[in-house]
Amino acid sequence: MGRRIFLIVPWYRPGDYDAAVSMFGDLPATYAAWHERALEWEENCRTAATPCLRVLLQPDEFLSWCRTRQVQPDAEARSTFIVEKARSLLWPEATADDV
């Protein structure tokens, strides 16, 4: 399977954003500020002709994923989570070694 380069953006719903801010130390304080920045990332991707994929991060799902893997719910775990979720969305039949 050929390699693709694209940006994966963790996406938050407005009602979940406060929970995300409490888990991750690298998010803007408000949903509006984060959303504006996320839309800028997407626009930069379009300008560079780089595909961009929004991956919804729901706090309950993420925390369950962390408990299962016995990892802290932090920014590093978020990165791994969204990559795994993106893989499952893009290549549902593939294993991690296939992608």
Phi, psi at 74, each rounded to 5°: -125, -175
Structure tokens at 4: 């693709």
Pull the structure tokens for residue 93.
């039949």
pLDDT digits (tens, 9 = 90+) for 16-28: 999 999 999 899 9
In a domain, 39, yes or no: yes
Domain count, the chain: 1
Residue 1 domain-assigned (yes or no): no
Cβ within 8 Å of residue 80, ≥6 positions away: 71
Q: Residue 36: give the domain boundaries.
A: 7-90
pLDDT of 16 reads 97
Separation CA 40–CA 56 (nearest Å): 17
Which range, 2-6, 21-25, 31-35, 42-46, is most confident? 31-35
Residue 97 lies in a domain: no
Q: Are 27 and 34 in contact (CB under 8 A)?
A: yes
Q: Looking at the domain assignment, is residue 96 inside a domain?
A: no
Length of the chain: 99
| Tokens 């290549």 found at | 91
Can you tell me the mean pLDDT for 80-97? Answer: 82
Give the contacts of 72 (CB within 8 A, at least 6 positions apart).
66
Give the pLDDT band of residue 14 (cuts 50, 70, 90). Answer: very high
Average the pLDDT over 59-76 and give the result. 96
Global pTM reads 0.81
